[in-house]
Amino acid sequence: MAAKRGAPDSGAPAIGWVALGLAGAQVAFALTFRGPRRRFWERMTLTGLCLGSYALSVSSPARRTRIRPGDLALGLASAATQYATFQAGDRFARRFVPGGARDIGDIYALRELQPRGEIALRLATIIGPAEELFWRGLVQAGLMRRLGRWRGAAVSAAAYGGVHAVTGNLTLLGAACVAGAHWSALSAAGAPMGALIVSHVAWDIWIFLLQPTQR
């Protein structure tokens, strides 16, 4: 029997699988962001492949993911809301966060490492979907099973933000915490994984390649 939407899933992975996945994610993110900058997108894609494959191998909620027609509207609306939040966050970071403008510039400089079409393809087919399969389909599902719906969502969001600490970019860390809280709250409220994947992919491409917050 399927779990009630937003409720802990009895088919979610045990906490041991979650802990192992989080340890692997910490190592993978450190290697991705601390390695040679010119190969960033190759490493990010490999990280997505590894984490997404791990999620599919141990998590029933991840394996049950389907993108249905109704998920498109919900996902796009979620991405639009997230984008508006980040527009405000961009102005806040530039004004109040030490080195905020530099940090934002460093993030957007990654767009110049590969052709834009190739980056969009990587984000849409591997990186964005894999992040949702891993962070919501495995980590959050397992934590909600162990801690309850909203406590599990909060710990999952904190873990998603925390792995970005290795970047040394304070603005990126803050952005990851906000984004993680957004998707974790939607998941806990019952949004289907298909809609979360649409949201993540649409937001990634829109804010990073089409309409960046950087002037």
Residues 97/170, Cβ–Cβ less than 8 Å: yes
Quick one: pLDDT at residue 7? 62
User: Quick one: pLDDT band at residue 1, thresholds 50, 70, 90?
Assistant: very low
For the record, the structure tokens of 178 come out as 């906000």
Per-residue pLDDT at 171: 87
Q: Between the CA atoms of 109, 113, 117 and 123, what dihedral angle is there, to the nearest 10 degrees?
A: -70
> Which pLDDT does position 139 carry in this prediction?
98
Q: In sequence order, what are the residues at sequence separation of 6 or more whose Cβ sits closer than 8 angstroms to the Cβ of residue 179?
A: 82, 160, 203
The reported pLDDT for the residue numbered 15 is 95
B/e letters for 141-169, b = 16+ CB within 10 Å, e = fewer, are bbbbbbbebeebbbbbbebbbbbbbbbeb
pTM over 0.85: yes
Question: Using an 8 Å Cβ cutoff, are 140 and 184 in contact?
Answer: yes
Question: Each residue of 80-123: pLDDT tens digit?
Answer: 999 988 888 878 777 777 777 888 888 889 999 999 999 999 99
Report pLDDT digits (tens) over 166-215: 998 888 899 899 999 999 999 999 999 999 999 999 999 999 998 887 55
Note whether 141 and 61 are within 8 A (CB). Answer: yes
Residue 99 phi/psi, 5° resolution?
75, 15
Percent of the chain past pLDDT 70, that is, above it, reads 94
> Domain map of the chain by residue range?
15-63+71-210
Classify residue 8 as left (phi > 0), alpha (psi -120 to 50) or beta: beta
Mean predicted confidence (pLDDT) in 46-50: 97
